[in-house]
Amino acid sequence: MFTIDDLADRLDSYLPRHEIQQVKRAFYYAEQAHDGQRRRSGEPYVTHPLAVANILANMHMDHESLMAAMLHDVIEDTGISKAALMEQFGESVAVLVDGVSKLTQITFEDKAVAQAENFQKMVLAMSQDIRVIIVKLADRLHNMRTLGALRPDKKRRIARETLEIYARIAGRLGINTIRVELEDLSFQAIYPMRAERIKHAVSKARGHRRSAIQQIQRALQKCLDEEELPGTVSGRQKHLLSIYRKMRDQQKPFAEIMDVFGFRITTDSVDSCYRILGAVHNLYKPVPGRFKDYIAIPKANGYQSLHTTLFGVGGMPIEVQIRTREMEAMAENGIAAHWLYKAGQTERPIAAGSHARAREWVRGLLEMQRRAGDSLEFIEHVKNDLFPDDVYIFTPRGDIMELPQGATVIDFAYSVHTDIGNSCIACRIDRHLAPLSTRLESGQTVEIITAPGAKPSTHWLSFVITAKARSAIRHALKHQKQLESVTLGRRLLDKALADFDTSLDAFPPGHLRPLLEEFGYKREDELLESIGLGTRLGYGVARRLVDMLPGHHLDTVSHSNDPVVISGAEGMVINFARCCHPLPGDSVIGHLSMGKGIVVHRADCRNLAELRDEPEKLVALQWSPNIQGDFPVGLRIEMESRRGLVAEIASLVTDAGANIERIGIEERDARLSIINLILAVRDRVHLARIIKRMRNLHNVGRISRVRN
């Protein structure tokens, strides 16, 4: 069994003696705190924190991280408080332990909510000290190594959570050794039979391929020696989940995936990396389009390397990675290399850059967390953010922005700054105007055009892919809807109060407070918002408000019939019914729909018949004389079939200043067709002008506006 003395011997290679003594003291403290506790396997509980510390020792983490690993379950599983740990081991260690611990034992109905809440707490702790997540990853890795004692269903649940969150975080922070092991252990827990078969097939294939691998490795090493280039060639192993994903996603058989030979060349400097690249390209022909330079443009997690694919002997593909030894340490340990270099007093820019990128990522997580509606929405954003392939986009000043594959102009705007995304109205890609939904490609230069007062659109959510853009748009729309709901709620309440010959402004300050307490609201805006969204009726609130006035009698109701004026600029709280497509100029009536605000119908809409049973939810409406905007309307056109008629109609509509939103054609018989159009027009007069022009077309019969 691995002991604290074994760990101390290992730490002796990179930590000073007094720091090793502190780690040992933390172990003995944890051993005493967990006395009598055992794991599911039957082992003493303290073997778990010791194993976690050993994983961190392999990564050369600092002594405070190792102490936190020893103590990480003390707060949760024993009666010891954070204050007691702070007194014993200092504030830094106590904060780390507090961050890794699941701080409160909240009971949730849903396991997913519980895990999402725990992850949110971890993000907050990460913002104080990024080492929290490294300790947490080591904790999760040892738990995955010892899953054997759990029930199969619990194994699968923990494995899926590990695969979706923790393995991706390890990848995002560049800790490749932990990522690969977490992925393989999760794969084996979720699909034990598939994992076993692939493992057996890999073992068998390696035996057959050994001579070919050795031959290529010798050829590459000989090439470096002849060119007098410093470098060591080693074989690269594919891990189980990577093989399985390629078989599943690329629909390739196992033999085809294993036919690709992977090698890694480590050298002493960046200059040597590029010279070695030239040498191997002279030895074997490169495959066009399969070269990637992650040295000039590192990945978001700090990973740097040259990747190239070559045609080997007999056309067999050879994948080669070329990197320096420092880049190799970064590729294996990621952000943990920051502490490795720090401990050795050889802080290097590559490690510092990784640490800065990690902090930037955590800041982005905190911003998402503030904007997310709940913990589950937040964790969905995080899953989407971890970790797709990247494209590299240039700003007009030449700065490089890194975005996931498939990102659009809107994603780019929000990655620059949230305010730029919120006020974005247009863009130029390589100096040419382009739609905001355009998917970006590496190497493009993107310029965002903004306008003061511009607002995000709901349809942006249908094409953005980054978590930051999605959460920022939802937050802005929610805030926008809230403001619009408060404004509409005030108008509806004032209209209801007019029936009692008063208005909201007539009430003295503080008079609403008893009513807010009665309805369970903290602020006046919350009450007005609920009225604007239709969750509470303005007339009922007005009646209750007037009832509270001393000396006011409810029998003095005047029933004001002044309609609410709609201008089309109310935003998301005034919605136009799709069943009857009301236009400015139509006689209209509003229906208060819960959560939507006012839904505007034509007064003769058949759907209003069932709504008239609730007259308190109907609102008299009137179009503003200055209304602006385009409104959808349905037309049905009967015509004789002939070539080019649809094109003529489309041209006529465009010339009349309208747009076709949707078009459909029904064949009535061999001679007669029916065209169903959805047009965007300004008002009834505009529609009448378009219909008049259509009647002048040859072979057009009856034209009617669609009603319900």
The residues annotated as belonging to the active site are: 76-77
68 closest CA partner among 37, 42, 92, 38: 92
DSSP 514-569: HHHHHHT-SSHHHHHHHHHTTSS-HHHHHHHHHHTSTT--TT------PPEEE-S-
Instruction: Count CB neighbours of 255 within 10 A.
Output: 9
Phi, psi of 622 (to 5 degrees): -145, 135
**Own/partner long-range contacts of 500-503 (Cβ < 8 Å, ≥24 apart):** 500/542, 500/543, 500/546, 500/552, 500/554, 500/556, 500/557, 500/558, 501/556, 501/558, 502/546
Alpha carbons 354 and 433: distance in angstroms, whole number: 35
Residue with token string 């196992």? 254
- What single-letter DSSP state applies at residue 79? S
- Which tokens in the block code for residue 373? 């509606």
Coil, helix or strand at residue 448: strand
Residue with token string 């236009």? 583
- Contact assessment for residue 699 and residue 639, using Cβ atoms and an 8 Å cutoff: yes
- Which tokens in the block code for residue 644? 């080019």
CA distances 58 to 7, 10, 337, Å, are 10, 8, 11
164 closest CA partner among 108, 120, 197, 115: 115
Alpha carbons 695 and 652: distance in angstroms, whole number: 11
Quick check: bond before 519 cis, omega within 30?
no
